């Protein structure tokens, strides 16, 4: 995993938006995988700014969200469809028909999840998947113990997640118990992942994901098997990483490569 540590979440989100913008400019009909929650909010604000001020064009972009609460329709203020419309889709020029989110009101879950996977395949797969992480190390709603080969399916929320999300619902008893979520296997098939984590409460999850063993108990650790993950953290979330010096060295090499300063890296020497 490439690890980029920025001083704060605003700087890290701007950096994340650069990766999104680079892709959208290079491949206007690209497929983005979207996340919800507090983590991607600044990234979405920056994407909106890029659209308004720099004309970043989302008209051909397709999106697939990671998950949705079971039982909540699009008009429910805590549904992820509502969140996406409010915080991103209504503020950029994306075609609403190009945005996909699992339907929390589906009755035949198996058929709905199969169809969701098929739609991702038909779109050519996800080019760039945006990910946040739960304090228990989950990505999407793949709670500890989820199969690392899992596909889109129904999932029971862990008590830690219910506790974490109670603030949005006004109490733990109001948080839905089930969600539809992309699986770890689905996420691993995306071409590139942007893995974001901000704040001291994410430090353990970041350490376990990046430097811990690959285990179903920390489903984000499966990202170590992915071909191209960029981890973007603020200082607080990165504070338990032990190989920080090495990650900084890699960024220096990366920047010299991007600037074509090959000689300084010993490329082309005797």
Helix axes 9-26, 41-54, angle to 10 degrees: 50
Instruction: By CB under 6 A, tell whether 187 contacts ligand F6R.
Output: no
What is the C-alpha to C-alpha distance for residues 223 and 193, in angstroms, rounded to an integer? 9
How far apart are CB 140 and ligand F6R at their closest, in Å? 4
- CB–CB of 68/78 below 8 Å? no
- CB–CB of 232/193 below 8 Å? no
Tell me which of 39, 146, 219, 221 binds ligand F6R, using CB under 6 A. 39
Instruction: Look up tokens 């720099």; give the residue.
Output: 54
Catalytic pick among 51, 98, 100, 138: 138
Find, among 33, 194, 58, the residue nearest to 116 by Cα.
33
Total interface residues for ligand F6R by CB under 6 A: 13
Catalytic pick among 6, 46, 51, 67: 67
How far apart are CB 194 and ligand F6R at their closest, in Å? 12
Tell me which of 134, 176, 183, 231 binds ligand F6R, using CB under 6 A. 134
Binding track over 54-83 against ligand F6R, x by CB under 6 A: ------------xx----------------
How far apart are CB 92 and ligand F6R at their closest, in Å? 18
Sign of CA dihedral 209, 214, 216, 217: negative
Catalytic pick among 46, 127, 143, 234: 143
Instruction: Look up tokens 């953290």; give the residue.
Output: 233
Interface region with ligand F6R, contact rule CB under 6 A, candidates 7-15, 70-78, 90-98, 132-140: 132-140
Query: Which of 30, 180 has the CB closer to ligand F6R?
Result: 180
Interface region with ligand F6R, contact rule CB under 6 A, candidates 6-14, 32-40, 70-78, 242-250: 32-40
197, with CB counted inside 10 A (0-12, 13-18, 19+), is buried
Instruction: By CB under 6 A, tell whether 138 contacts ligand F6R.
Output: yes
Sign of CA dihedral 22, 27, 29, 30: negative
Return residues touching ligand F6R (CB under 6 A): 35-39, 66-67, 132-134, 138-140
């Amino acid at each position: 995993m490439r690890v980029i540590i920025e001083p704060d979440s605003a700087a890290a989100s701007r950096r994340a938006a650069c990766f999104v913008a680079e892709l959208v400019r290079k491949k206007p009909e690209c497929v983005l995988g979207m996340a919800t929650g507090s983590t991607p909010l600044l990234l979405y604000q920056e994407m909106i700014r890029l659209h308004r001020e720099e004309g970043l064009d989302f008209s051909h972009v397709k999106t697939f969200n990671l998950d949705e609460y079971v039982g909540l329709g699009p008009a429910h203020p805590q549904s992820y469809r509502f969140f996406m419309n409010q915080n991103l889709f209504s503020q950029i020029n994306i075609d609403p028909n190009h945005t996909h989110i699992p339907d929390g009101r589906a009755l035949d879950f198996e058929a709905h999840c199969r169809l969701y996977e098929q739609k991702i395949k038909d779109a050519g797969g996800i080019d760039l998947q945006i990910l946040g992480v739960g304090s228990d190390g989950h990505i999407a709603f793949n709670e500890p113990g989820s199969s690392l080969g899992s596909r889109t399916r129904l999932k029971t929320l862990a008590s830690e997640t219910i506790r974490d999300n109670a603030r949005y619902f006004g109490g733990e008893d109001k948080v839905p118990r089930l969600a539809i979520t992309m699986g770890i296997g689905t996420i691993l098939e995306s071409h590139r992942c942007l893995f974001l984590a901000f704040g001291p409460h994410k430090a353990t999850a970041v350490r376990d994901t990046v430097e811990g063993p690959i285990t179903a108990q920390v489903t984000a650790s499966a990202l170590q098997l992915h071909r191209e993950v960029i981890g973007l953290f603020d200082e607080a979330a990165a504070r338990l990483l032990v190989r920080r010096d090495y990650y900084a060295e890699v960024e220096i090499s990366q920047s010299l490569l991007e600037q074509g300063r090959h000689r300084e890296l010993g490329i082309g020497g005797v």
